Amino acid sequence: MAPALVLVGSPVGHDRHDTGAWHPERPARLDAAMRGVDEPGLGEAIGVLEGRPAGPAELARVHDERYLEALAQFAAAGGGRLDPDTVASPGSWDTALLSAGMGLAAVEALSAGEAGAAFVVGRPPGHHATRDRAMGFCLLNNVAVAAASLTAAGERVLIVDWDVHHGNGTQDIFWNDPAVLYASTHQWPAYPGTGRADETGGPGAPGLTINVPLPPGATGDVALAALDEIVAPAVDQFSPTWVLVSAGFDAHREDPLADLAWSAGDYADLTARVMGYAPRVIAFLEGGYDLSALEHSVAATVATLAGETWRPEQATSGGPGRQVVDRVLRLRAELA
């Protein structure tokens, strides 16, 4: 069987989001991720996704308009620190618009039948950004902007967030939205301190938030169990028409910011699982701060999206966390 086309888009080359000399969320991440796209030698299975900046009305579906104005002005005035972790430079606003717009371009291309999958290699990342607050290196919530464009068109969206940090912004934005199922695996305890197992969605969307808070050292087999045993049954009930992935790669064992123990091979397995949840898949780069781990993990993910096998590292198993999956299963049984 011929490999499936995967559209890849990135603001690399137009990246003017300058976080300073020592910030882990740095421009070299995009270069490493794009090396990862090239690594498996997928040839014509990789297509270029042409981007565009996100427009004000598209952003206003998930962000407060006063927040958007203030952020644009803050960058234009020279930028600086938005919180202890999060900075903006004069070029950050335009780069953030391009990253959010790249996700919208992916929605448009897949809607037009140009491909079945896309990978948005953007920065800054997005999943910590709330309606009215930048935090955790994030300015605009890229995955939420794309999801909201889909739900506005009547689609049902599953967001799988396998970044090592909980996507508090995405959870907040869709907390009470019956058209979005949000499922996150993340380290616990860790930044930003949200994502407990008993955070399961608002009264308008009961059970449509799934959190699997994993202990340090958890391996990829536990993440797969979370998808197979918790997320897959919820997906069967919810019947999403699209899957968006907050694809951070900072749960990799080499990542300097966190303590999970996954490998590039685990990302191949996770990607294969989410591809089974709906016919159209868009992955968004979130975290991932070891450049070599990021490159190989992106390679495994993109190859899997193309229907190819590329495993720079073996999948991992044997770490702690199985009991968390069981606890979440018990909690969901009580909800039902």
Which residue of 167, 213, 220, 287 would you call a contact of Zn ion, by CB under 5 A?
287
Query: What H or E segment, with its residue span, contains residue 115?
Result: none
Distance between CA atoms of 63 and 170, rounded to whole angstroms? 11
Distance between CA atoms of 266 and 272, rounded to whole angstroms? 10
Cβ proximity to Zn ion, 142 vs 149, nearer residue: 142
Residue 25 as a binder of Zn ion (CB under 5 A): the answer is: no
> Residue 76 CB, nearest distance to Zn ion (Å)?
28
Q: Which stretch binds Zn ion (CB under 5 A): 73-81, 178-186, 244-252, 296-304?
A: 244-252
Which residue of 17, 29, 123, 165 would you call a contact of Zn ion, by CB under 5 A?
165
Q: Which stretch binds Zn ion (CB under 5 A): 26-34, 56-64, 263-271, 284-292?
A: 284-292
Residue 166: both structure tokens together: 């909980």
What letter represents residue 229's amino acid? Answer: E
Cβ proximity to Zn ion, 36 vs 287, nearer residue: 287
> Residue 240 CB, nearest distance to Zn ion (Å)?
23
The reply to whether 128 belongs to the active site is: yes
Degrees to nearest 5, angle at CA 252 with 249 and 255: 90
> Residue 284 CB, nearest distance to Zn ion (Å)?
12
Which residue of 39, 163, 254, 295 would you call a contact of Zn ion, by CB under 5 A?
163
Distance between CA atoms of 268 and 315, rounded to whole angstroms? 8
Scanning the structure block, which residue is given the tokens 């234009």?
Answer: 76
Distance between CA atoms of 206 and 169, rounded to whole angstroms? 18
> Residue 35 CB, nearest distance to Zn ion (Å)?
20
Q: Which stretch binds Zn ion (CB under 5 A): 58-66, 158-166, 204-212, 239-247?
A: 158-166
Q: Which stretch binds Zn ion (CB under 5 A): 95-103, 172-180, 204-212, 283-291?
A: 283-291
Catalytic site residue from 128, 186, 252, 296: 128
Taken in order 104, 110, 114, 119, is the CA torsion positive or negative?
A: positive
Q: In the complex, which residue's CB is closest to Zn ion?
A: 287
Nearest residue to 241 (alpha-carbon basis) of 179, 325, 309? 179
Q: Are 131 and 63 in contact (CB under 8 A)?
A: yes
What's the number of CA atoms in the CB half-sphere (13 Å) around residue 78?
A: 0
Distance between CA atoms of 104 and 297, rounded to whole angstroms? 24
Which residue of 58, 94, 221, 250 would you call a contact of Zn ion, by CB under 5 A?
250
Which residue of 51, 126, 169, 248 would you call a contact of Zn ion, by CB under 5 A?
248
Strand 80-81 and strand 87-88: the pairing is: antiparallel
DSSP string, 172-222: HHHTT-TTEEEEEEEESS-TT----TT----TTSTT-EEEEEEPTT--HHH
Q: Which stretch binds Zn ion (CB under 5 A): 27-35, 57-65, 235-243, 279-287?
A: 279-287
What residues are annotated to the active site?
A: 128
Binding residues vs Zn ion (CB under 5 A)? 163, 165, 248, 250, 287
